[in-house]
Amino acid sequence: MANQPTYLTALRQGQDQLTAAHQDPSAAQYLLTEAHGWTFTQLVLHYRAVMSAAEAQTFRAQLDRVAAGEPAQYVLGRANFYGRDFAVTPATLIPRQETEELVGWILAATDDETPLSVLDIGTGSGAIAVTLKAERPKWTVTASDISTGAVAVARTNAQRLAAPVELVTGDLFAPVSGRRFDVIVSNPPYIDRDETAVMDASVKRYEPDQALFAANHGLAFYQRFADSLATYLLPGGQFFAEIGYRQGPAVKAIFTTALPAATVTIRQDINGHDRMVHVQL
């Protein structure tokens, strides 16, 4: 036992290792707090406690993976989103704060007493669909993804979080042909491959390509949505999507041109970047 580090010693050694590897040193704290479900204050209260040999070994192995560039969420196999833990694998994107803001916008723009039908396209881990169902139990939520691996992860999350969501596999609207919805939401691929040089290395190496990149300078999916929304949205329906921070004007033009009677709104995220679009039929 005497040879095992305290939590404070392990934390500092982990931060030093990640700094030396040019990785974010805060991941060391994240790994420790997530392993126990602790807040930072709870970690501090355990600073002088000695780690077990097994935990110290696990922590070192996790640090090695993060030091090599693997996202800590993939190392742990989970990520927090809107106050819930979601399973994530390399078949899914890691859910991010900007997408939480998109979910918040949907919830604020809708009536929590009305039983709406909702479609989440490109669901990935199911973070958006499962969160909407959990927050609005009266809603009927369908989620689709072209990746069978992603759909499997989303199904696991829906079951574990007791948020029954219909999951279907296929490209865009193909799995729901002939159906219409009150709300359609998507966090589609929107990165231009010309931006690869400025992307975070761990994102390029570990997160799924088909969930990141889109043709026509990242705008291809917005064009496909604009062409199909009138077919798949009910009268008065709403569409919400995440967008790239430099795509606001182009995305607004796409939807305004395709749906001249619709109201198209671009919203900025907490950092002041264009990040979301809302189309109201």
Contacts of 253 (CB under 8 A, 6+ apart): none
Summarize pLDDT for 106-133 with one digit per residue, the tens: 999 998 889 999 999 999 999 999 999 9
Pairwise CA distance, residues 266 & 92, whole Å: 26
- Residue from 126, 164, 160 nearest 143 by CA: 126
For helices 148-160 and 127-135, the axis angle rounded to 10 degrees is 30
Confidence at 215, pLDDT banded by 50, 70, 90: low
Summarize pLDDT for 1-24 with one digit per residue, the tens: 457 899 999 999 999 999 999 999
**195 secondary structure, DSSP code:** G
**Mean pLDDT, residues 215-229:** 84
Strand pairing category for 181-186 and 233-242? parallel
Burial class of 73 by CB neighbour count within 10 A (0 to 12, 13 to 18, 19+): buried
pTM over 0.85: yes
Q: Are 145 and 171 in contact (CB under 8 A)?
A: no
First-to-last alpha carbon distance for the chain, in angstroms, is 66
Q: Are 205 and 69 in contact (CB under 8 A)?
A: yes
| Half-sphere exposure in the Cβ direction for 133 (13 Å, CA) | 24
- Residue from 190, 180, 168 nearest 243 by CA: 190
Summarize pLDDT for 180-197 with one digit per residue, the tens: 999 999 998 766 555 555
Q: Are 95 and 144 in contact (CB under 8 A)?
A: no
Pairwise CA distance, residues 276 & 99, whole Å: 9
- Residue from 144, 140, 142 nearest 116 by CA: 140
How many H helices and E strands in the chain?
A: 12, 9
For 16, other C-beta atoms within 10 Å of its C-beta total: 12
- Residue from 128, 86, 87, 138 nearest 104 by CA: 128
Position with higher pLDDT, 271 vs 210? 271
- Own/partner contacts of 202-205, CB < 8 Å, gap of 24 or more, are 202/69, 202/70, 202/71, 203/71, 205/69
What per-residue confidence (pLDDT) applies to 113? 86
